[in-house]
Structure 1
Amino acid sequence: MEQVKQFKKYAYLALMFAPLVVSLFVVWFLPETIVSRMDIAGNVTATASRFSIFLFPILVAILGFGTRVASSSPKLTGGNVRTARSISWILLLLLNVIAYFQFWLYLGGMTVGAQMSRFLTF
């Protein structure tokens, strides 16, 4: 039982920092500036430094740490620690999916905001 707890702990930490590690590799394949905003017609209206891709992985790590701390407190969870831990796992997995989708878009020359504006035109 103790081994399972240790495995879950290390798996949670790995998921918490995985987007940050992946962004360390992805950043070197990006151009110096990346598209950060597009208008409805598809014209680039703003660009950002390629190092701005670190913002979301840092947010994932902070939220992962915060939900882990909050889910271990019986006072904050109302005594239902198991449900709170499950919710923190689901939140962390969802944020990881969003982060990897964001990296995939960046490598294709797009951003999440630009992709949303393209979808809204149809």
Structure 2
Amino acid sequence: MATWKQAADFVFVQVGYSVEAFLRWREANPTDLPVYAGVMVLASAGMATRLRASIPDIDIPDELVHRVSDDPAAGVDAACEQVRALRDTGAFAGVHLVPVSRFREVAARLERERP
């Protein structure tokens, strides 16, 4: 392992849209370091198209893209659901949240739902 990897304080996992994929990654990459899963609000179908084109490894479910096309708030809903689901797994120290242009909506929702 590279020396700089041995000196890390924590690990960020690339943005994804599947809790199951995050859990598979976590199982395949054991570490005692705190691990933070990348959660990004999908703000529009156009954003999904741009992400898919620029980040070949990102897997954005078509169902989510359709939901966001029909209702722009669906991206906030999906991100908050993902944050809750990741928290409930206990496999991560937290998330690296990328709210895009929806910071206020995400912050308000997560604050209301805080345990």
What's the TM-score once normalised by structure 1's chain length? 0.27
The structure with the largest alpha-carbon Rg is: 1
**Structure richer in strand, relative to its length:** 2
What's the TM-score once normalised by structure 2's chain length? 0.29
**Structure richer in helix, relative to its length:** 1
